[in-house]
A and B are shown apart, each in its own frame.
Chain A
Amino acid sequence: MPEHILLRHRDIPEIADLDVYLKHDGFTAFEDVVKNQTPEQVIETVKTANLRGRGGAGFPAGVKWSFLTPGVFPRYVVANADESEPGTFKDREIMEGNPYQFLEGIAICSYAAQANTAYIYCRGEFWDLAHELEGKIEALTKRGLLGEGLFDTDYSLMIYVYLGAGAYICGEETALLSSMEGEIGHPRLRPPFPAAEGLFAKPTVINNVETLTNLPPIINQGADWYCSIGTEKSTGPKIFSLSGHVERPGNYELPFGTTFRELIFEHGGGIRDGKAIKGILPAGASAPLLPATDEVLDTPMDYESVPKVGSQLGSASIIVLDETVDIAWMAYKTTSFFKHESCGKCAPCREGTYWMYHILNRFQNGNAAPADIDLLNRVALGIQGKCFCALGEFSITPVVAGIEHFRSDFEALTGDGK
């Protein structure tokens, strides 16, 4: 078993203790950049490493940072710890198991962004975790690793934890900003992008927890080392959250480009109770369902390959469905999620998810007519391309792909519609 780069607590169980983290090169990367490098040099390294955002979009982090409006201060860094995508539980494990590497990542990002204040936006449900993190931040401040005049330079950094209060939409970066400013978590029109007008209308970098946790090893071991892991365009390690009908659900840190087959059948121990695999949701509820064909199973999990078989890698939350799963029920479950989580700002999503839910409910209650399948598809396609943010667009993808690949599951539930 190769050593973990992100889930290091699996190799070094006590690494959530500051002394242990410091013994294992902790905060050497942050000290190095503050003492010896310019922010531009850090950004250049991260660009060369091609560190891509692990929250789902896969946008290169270094490029994102270089969009910050020059000369405007203060700037902010926000760590997006609103992990709420069904099937995603990787950020939570990082923050629980290897919190100091995450906090060092925030510190490196803040230095590169020339920000003196950073916030961690934790979903409200992570209450205990958020309080743990506050304790870790205090420990760092006491050691002089956060605070004023770090490493005898004039660089200062404070990190605060902000607790959300239960809303999936707040993982969307502009909705997150609205929420942090004390408003309802509604997404905002872009441009202006957060790099120009973000938190409190100041230039802001927002990155996912896993993205930030990659920074200390990139600084310590270099961009070339980082690029030697993964594929040419999707570099580095990735944490795949594996859930559903597998023998061993859990997080697996593997290089980008690992196939679905290897993840599910080698690491995950295969399908539970000796059943056959039926389908895969590769990005939680937010990307098209894939039928588990040999072609799909042999697809490398990276940002380029998964779209070629008709879906997205997103945050890499792989939900496995065995042969007993009725796809009309699956669509009902994902739609129920989106109906509940729609923020209500735009009509296509607010009304569309409501109507999809009600049609899918008819299938569950035995009241669906054959024509309801095409009606459902029409409603879904009516939502497509019209939503204010990506959440609404995501909501239709399991439904449309479900009908496309498993229409007979829907047909089997239809009667005369009475």
Chain B
Amino acid sequence: MLVDKYPKEIDRILAKFPPERKRAAALPLLYLAQREYGHVSKEAIREVAGILDVDPTQVGGLVGFYSLLHAKPGGKYRLQVCTDLPCALRGAEEFAEELCDNLRIKMGETTEDGLITVEEVKCLAGCDKAPMFQLQAPDGIHYFENQDLDSAMELIEELRQRGDDA
């Protein structure tokens, strides 16, 4: 249970908001749940709802709405390539396709070893440094810019080496 494992972190999150407006802590708590479980399961939704004193359906709606919250498990890392217009003008679509081919998956799929899910996402505010992607990792979200197939594969290899230590 999150409340047993992270009491201090939960208190710190709740302290940012007026006590009668606890629900404002929903997104930070959902991030905490996702970090803990890898995705936001129904059980995690119930836990967060319990902390906030709201109905689980109200919390569940958020998971469906916000693109960084995932109701279903994916790879350990989600490699999210921006293919929006400005990035596409600088070769992002070709980059994304090459990357998927190289990993022998289709867009949206996960590599056989469960390490990487490649996804297309909308503008990440890195348009001048395309092709670029963000890596949604267990410890947070990190940007990788001015990428090509070699640099991306190098990163993936590094993540693979890191194994369970990460």
Binding site for B on A (CB under 8 A): 83-89, 91-92, 123-128, 131, 160, 162-168, 179-185, 200, 241-245, 249-251, 281, 284-285, 317, 319, 321, 325, 330, 333-334, 337, 340-341, 343
Distance of A276 Cα from B147 Cα, bound (Å): 26
Interface size class of B (residues with CB under 8 A): 35 or more
Most-contacted residue by chain A among B68, B125, B128 (CB, 10 A): B125
- A243's partner among B26, B61, B69, B127 (CB-CB below 8 A) is B127
* B69 in complex: contacting residue of A85, A165, A249, CB < 8 Å: A165
Give Cα A183 to B30, complex, Å. Answer: 12
B134 to A, closest residue via Cβ: A125
B24 A250 Cβ-Cβ under 8 A? no
The reply on B72 being an interface residue by CB < 8 A is no
Q: Can you name 30 A-B pairs with beta carbons within 8 Å?
A: A87-B85, A87-B86, A88-B127, A123-B125, A124-B66, A124-B141, A125-B134, A127-B140, A128-B141, A162-B16, A163-B27, A163-B28, A165-B31, A165-B66, A166-B68, A168-B122, A182-B23, A182-B27, A183-B26, A185-B66, A200-B21, A242-B128, A243-B127, A249-B128, A281-B85, A285-B85, A317-B127, A330-B85, A337-B122, A340-B122
- Which residue from chain B places its CB closest to the CB of A87 in the assembled complex? B86
CA of A281 to CA of B84, assembled, Å: 14
A-contact 0/1 string along B71-87, CB 8 Å cutoff: 00000000000001110
Please measure, in the bound complex, the distance between the C-alpha atom of A416 and the C-alpha atom of B27, giving whole angstroms: 49
Knowing that A181-B21, A243-B127 are A-B contacts, what are 13 other residue pairs whose CB atoms are under 8 Å apart, sorted by A's residue number? A86-B127, A89-B128, A91-B125, A131-B140, A167-B66, A182-B23, A184-B61, A185-B66, A243-B90, A250-B128, A281-B85, A330-B85, A337-B123
Fill in one digit per residue for B110-132: 1 if any A CB lies within 8 Å of its CB, else 0: 00000000000011111111100
For the complex, what is the distance from the CA of A245 to the CA of B31, rounded to whole Å?
37
A333–B88 touching, CB < 8 Å: yes
Residues in B neighbouring A125, C-beta threshold 8 A: 68, 124-125, 134, 141, 143
B23 / chain A contacts, CB cutoff of 8 Å: 181-183
Q: Which residues of A contact B54 (CB under 8 A)?
A: 182
**Docked CA distance A181–B21 (Å):** 7
* B123 pairs with A87, CB closer than 8 A: yes
Q: Is the CB of A244 within 8 A of B84?
A: no
**In the complex where A127-B140, A127-B141 touch, is A89 in contact with B125 (Cβ < 8 A)?**
yes
B89 at the interface (CB under 8 A from A): yes
Does B161 touch A at the CB level, under 8 Å? no
Per-position binary interface string of chain B over residues 9-29, scored 1 when its CB falls under 8 Å from any chain A CB and 0 otherwise: 000000010100101111110
Minimum C-beta distance from A272 to chain B (A): 9
What are the nearest 6 A-B pairs in CB distance?
A166-B67, A165-B66, A182-B26, A182-B23, A249-B128, A127-B141
On whether the beta carbons of B84 and A180 are closer than 8 Å, the reply is: no
Please report the C-alpha to C-alpha distance between residue A184 and residue B21 in the assembled complex, in whole angstroms. 15
Nearest-neighbour CB distance to chain A for B68, whole angstroms, equals 4
Residues of A within 8 A of B18 (CB): 200
